[in-house]
Amino acid sequence: MAVTVTLEPAGRCRWDEPVRIAVRGLAPGQPVTLRASLRDEKGALFRAHARYCADAAGLLDLERAPALGGSFAGLEPMGLFWAMEPEEPLMRLVKRDVQTPFAVELEVLDGHEPEAQRLLGRAVHERDFLAPGVRREPVRAGRVRGTLFLPPGSKPFPGILDLFGSSGGLCEYRASLLAGHGFAVLALAYFRFEDLPEHLNDVCLEYFEEAVDFMLQHPKVKGPGVGLLGYSKGGDLCLSMASFLKGITATVVINACVANTLAPLCYKDMIIPELSYDLKKYTITESGFLNFVDIWGNPLEKTNHQSLIPLEKAQGPFLFIVSMDDHNWKSEVYAHIASERLQAHGKDRPQIIYYPGTGHCIEPPYFPLCRASVHAVLGQPVFHGGEPKAHSNAQADAWQQIQTFFHKHLNGKKSVSPSKL
């Protein structure tokens, strides 16, 4: 009997959806090694492997069979995806072109690595970033630069602005996936993209005000306000937007500071200085990576009071996604400061979700952990933290929590469909 690899659902599925992998036609109890690999748009190779044994009927079902070792161990049906590691160290898996899928090659080898050599079967699984009917529309409106993703349907949808961090450019993959869950999402660039400023020092809050107005005036965006989703530097920008701009209904920040960081932020006749930092306080890990978590000043110290973002001015609720092994920002401390400040001003405390063992770079589900990467400006490897399994579990849960929060506050829904995990 020929060995076959089957996938459910068959054919393409979304990157943030689980897939069931099974191997049929094996001998009873046969030891095998499964390998998964993909190449990104620049040709960088990412791969994972795990050792298994078929059951008494010669079937291997990854939802029932625990991995016996390899890139991970235990019952992990999606382990071959989240446990991938780059062939070249310090590479981070990102999707640069959301209009094409990632093609994941799955191979079954006889025996257990490193002895496993004979190829028994293979399959190619395509995982895409645009749900059926989701439209991708480049945005070049006034000064605003980005990409708008619109779900299928004639009615308007709750709108979200999605901001990434201090590397700049335009990242679309989170926005494109989120649009598949019923949101109109603007992936917003704010520097180092086309004719936008090259440096953060030249970015002002009026730019984001224009982006909010663009969304609220769009016929496919349901008002009266929009949501904000920001990661790292994009997170503190979202906090500033929520505090100073009109039309913000709900805000989610992922591992962000409660003070303005990295560059002064101007708005009309006001300047918010950046949080102080001392580069001499960096440390170096055993692997030789830079650890920046201790370089930042305390936002509560008198010298940094002007950099603190006045969250109490915001009109809507906050959700803080906090990695407890974040080695870029003291995210846990900052979330606590936010909670204390809001309550001191008679406001509702924010929703805070803490994830142990989780590093700085929280992505949609099944993206592998990036423990360290080369800094876009410094050109040096920077440590982000995290452990693969805990990080993967956190990403899956945070993705559901973000959707639930936005559906509740932008759409009046109490919950989303539960995770298939």
Torsion over CA: 94, 96, 99, 105 (sign): negative
- Provide the terminal-to-terminal Cα distance of the chain, rounded to the nearest Å: 31
CB-CB contact of 147 with 162 (8 Å): no
Q: CA 371, CA 389: separation in Å to the nearest integer?
A: 12
The whole-number pLDDT of residue 418 equals 42
Instruction: State the chain's maximal CA–CA distance in angstroms.
Output: 76
> Token pair for residue 196?
């936008």
Query: Please, are residues 211 and 205 in contact by the beta-carbon 8 Å criterion?
Result: no
Which tops the pLDDT comparison, 321 or 412? 321
**Beta-carbon count within 10 A of 350 CB:** 19
Q: What is the mean pLDDT of residues 109-126?
A: 91
Torsion of the alpha carbons at 325, 327, 328 and 330, rounded to the nearest 10: 60
294 tagged catalytic: no
- The mean pLDDT value for 296-313 works out to 97
pLDDT of residue 114: 80
Question: Over 70: is that where the pLDDT of 12 sits?
Answer: yes
CA distance linking residue 16 with residue 178, whole number of Å = 9
Asked if residue 154 has pLDDT above 80, the reply is: yes
- Identify the active-site residue in 360, 384, 391, 407: 360
Tell whether the model's pLDDT for residue 116 goes beyond 90: no
Q: Which residues, in sequence order, are bridge partners of residue 308?
A: 259
pLDDT tens-digit profile of 52-74? 999 999 999 999 999 999 999 99
pLDDT in tens, 248-287: 999 999 999 999 999 999 999 999 999 999 999 999 999 9
* Interatomic CA distance for residues 394 and 185, integer angstroms: 22
Q: Is the pLDDT of residue 421 over 70?
A: no
Pairing of strands 283-284, 265-267: unpaired
Q: Span 6-30, mean pLDDT?
A: 96
Count the Cβ atoms, other than its own, within 10 Å of residue 349: 13
Hey, what are 6's tokens? Answer: 């089957």
Residue with tokens 């180092």: 192
Q: Map tokens 């780059």 to a residue.
A: 86
CA distance 79 to 32: 16
Euclidean distance between CA atoms 342 and 59, whole angstroms: 55
Position 416 pLDDT exceeds 80:
no
Phi, psi of 164 (to 5 degrees): -95, -165
State percent of the chain over pLDDT 70: 97
Q: In what order do the strands lie in the sheet with 283-284?
A: 283-284, 290-291, 381-383, 372-374
Give the pLDDT confidence score for residue 367 in this predicted structure: 98
- Give the number of other Cβ atoms within 10 Å of residue 100's Cβ: 13
Rounded to 5 degrees, what angle do the CA atoms 268, 273, 279 make?
150
Structure confidence by residue, pLDDT tens digits, 185-209: 999 999 999 999 999 999 999 999 9
The pLDDT value given to residue 414 = 52
pLDDT at 1: 67
Residue among 16, 128, 162, 326 flagged as catalytic? 326
List, for residues 156-184, the tens digit of each pLDDT value. 999 999 999 999 999 999 999 999 999 99
Q: What is the Cα 289 distance to its own chain's centre?
A: 22
C-beta separation of 25 from 58 below 8 A: yes
376 has a pLDDT exceeding 80: no
- pLDDT for 11 equals 87
Average pLDDT score, the chain? 95
**CA distances (Å), origin 188, targets 22, 138, 140, 184, 253:** 39, 10, 11, 13, 15
Per-residue burial over 268-280, b = 16 or more CB atoms within 10 Å of its CB, e = otherwise: eeeebebbbeeee
154 is catalytic: no
Strand ranges in 101-247 using DSSP code E only, listed in sequence order: 102-110, 119-128, 135-141, 144-150, 157-163, 184-188, 221-231
Active site residue: 232, 240, 243, 392, which one? Answer: 232
What are 317's two structure tokens?
């609720």
Catalytic (active site) residue 360: yes
**For residue 336, with 0-12 CB atoms within 10 Å meaning exposed, 13-18 middle and 19 or more buried, which class applies?**
middle
∠ CA 19-25-29, nearest 5°, is: 95
DSSP secondary structure letters along 95-133: -S-TTS-EEEEEEEEESSTTT---EEEEEEEEEESS-TT
Q: How far apart (Å, rounded) are the C-alpha atoms in residues 329 and 348? A: 24
Report in angstroms the alpha-carbon separations of 224 from 156, 158, 404, 409. 11, 9, 19, 11
Q: Indicate if the pLDDT at residue 415 is higher than 90.
A: no
